[in-house]
Amino acid sequence: MSHLEVRPLVAGEESLFESMPDPLPQVRKIAYANGLATGGYRPERTWVAILDGRVVGRAAWVLPPGAVGRPWLERFDLSAEPEVGARLLAAAHEALGGPMFYYAAVPAHWRDDPGTVAAMATPLDAARLAGLVESGERLRYSWRGGEVPARKGRPRGIRPAADVGEITARIAEPDVLTGRESALAVAGVDLATDPLSWLTGPPGDWLVDEDGDGLAGIAVDACYPLLAFLAAKKNRPAMLAEVCRVASAAGAREVIADVDAHRHDVIADLEDGGFELLRGRLILEPSRRRPARRMRQAGQEG
């Protein structure tokens, strides 16, 4: 008779988590050991399903140190039937205070690859059984240097913001929003409507378009340069080009930009501007309904 054990890790069991092969190695991830070292991952928020001595499911919730929000499910891999994964998630939810968001990373153009579709089907089915529902998909794009349109000075009408008032007057529904999940979990801030509570640098970090309604917030550093906020309906291509020029001049070799998958107009402008798709991220959130009742006692039957 098979035996299924579902439990959190204890300190020192990092190798147990890593003993399960990565089903999607092409997706860039933070190594579990590195996540422990920085404090985002913790053993009590990391759960495994062990069937007959072998790890067949693993789930790791992450929350940066000092964050005010709830953890989110960052890693969830499953090589057993969905019911096993649902049992794993349900047990963790009960111990951690209820279901939480699940951000499922997928490779670029993943729906075009039958192998990736099959690899994602089982954990997604398990998440649905455990009471999570899919609510959207966000795509991560990257500009990795290369040619920036040659210009003398800045494009006409696009310049750094002079003061905070110039920024707040132009905040509108964003086209690009990078780091929204982190802002919400770490500081309880909705980056879409209150970006200045999260992006606390000087006004000069923002670009404004004098000839339109454009606004772009740039966070450029040596480790993780990103386009955090862009609302530029009328002059978006020029704003994107200027973001890349400013970032490149500051020494950035890459600029990250996240966009909702249904925003085909923004995606077209990003790709025309030299941005390449890195990965997708499916968003699953707790359902208001109770989880499905067909989670049988998988693994404990002969």
The answer as to whether 302 is a domain residue is no
Lowest mean pLDDT among 89-103, 230-244, 283-297: 283-297
The answer as to whether 182 is a domain residue is yes
CA 31 from chain centre, in angstroms, equals: 15
The larger pLDDT score, comparing residue 204 to residue 211, is at 204
Token pair in block for residue 22: 């990565």
The verdict on 190 and 93 lying in the same domain is: no
DSSP secondary structure letter of residue 257: E
The verdict on 206 and 182 lying in the same domain is: yes
Q: What integer best gives the mean pLDDT of the chain? A: 89
How far apart (Å, rounded) are the C-alpha atoms in residues 147 and 33? 37
- pLDDT confidence of 235, banded at 50, 70, 90? confident
The answer as to whether 282 is a domain residue is no
Reduced to 3 states, what is the DSSP secondary structure of residue 188? coil
Kind of pairing, strands 176-177 and 226-231? antiparallel
Q: How many domains does the chain have?
A: 2
Amino acid identity of residue 216, one-letter, is A
- CATH of residue 23: 3.40.630.30
How far apart (Å, rounded) are the C-alpha atoms in residues 285 and 298? 24
Percent of the chain whose pLDDT exceeds 90: 71
The answer as to whether 267 is a domain residue is yes
Token pair in block for residue 81: 């039937």
- CATH of residue 223: 3.40.630
The pLDDT, as a whole number, for residue 239 is: 92
Nearest to 57, CA basis, from 2, 1, 6: 6
pLDDT tens, position by position, 73-113? 999 999 999 999 999 999 999 999 999 999 999 999 999 99
What is each CA distance from 229 to 9, 183, 199, in whole angstroms? 37, 12, 9
pLDDT tens, position by position, 23-80? 999 898 888 999 999 999 999 999 999 999 999 999 999 999 999 989 999 999 999 9
The verdict on 11 and 61 lying in the same domain is: yes
The pLDDT, as a whole number, for residue 218 is: 86
The pLDDT, as a whole number, for residue 223 is: 61
The verdict on 155 and 262 lying in the same domain is: yes
Nearest to 284, CA basis, from 134, 92, 124: 134
The answer as to whether 68 is a domain residue is yes
The answer as to whether 290 is a domain residue is no
Of 102, 131, 160, the position where a domain reaches its end is: 131
The verdict on 112 and 161 lying in the same domain is: no
The verdict on 220 and 195 lying in the same domain is: yes
H or E element, residue 164: helix 164-168
H or E element, residue 36: helix 32-38
Contacts of 112 (CB under 8 A, 6+ apart): none
The verdict on 101 and 147 lying in the same domain is: no
The verdict on 50 and 108 lying in the same domain is: yes
Can you give the residue range of the structural domain that contains 56? 4-131
The answer as to whether 187 is a domain residue is yes
How far apart (Å, rounded) are the C-alpha atoms in residues 77 and 23? 7
Burial code (b: 16+ CB inside 10 Å, e: under 16) for 94-114 equals: eebeebbbbbbbbbbebeeee
- pLDDT confidence of 288, banded at 50, 70, 90? confident
The pLDDT, as a whole number, for residue 148 is: 61
H or E element, residue 283: strand 276-286
The answer as to whether 301 is a domain residue is no
Rounded (5°) CA angle 67-73-76: 150
Write down the pTM of the prediction.
0.87
The verdict on 146 and 126 lying in the same domain is: no
- DSSP readout, 7-20? EE--TT-HHHHHTS
The verdict on 155 and 219 lying in the same domain is: yes
Of 89, 108, 131, the position where a domain reaches its end is: 131
Residue 295 has pLDDT above 60, yes or no: no
The verdict on 124 and 157 lying in the same domain is: no
The verdict on 99 and 43 lying in the same domain is: yes
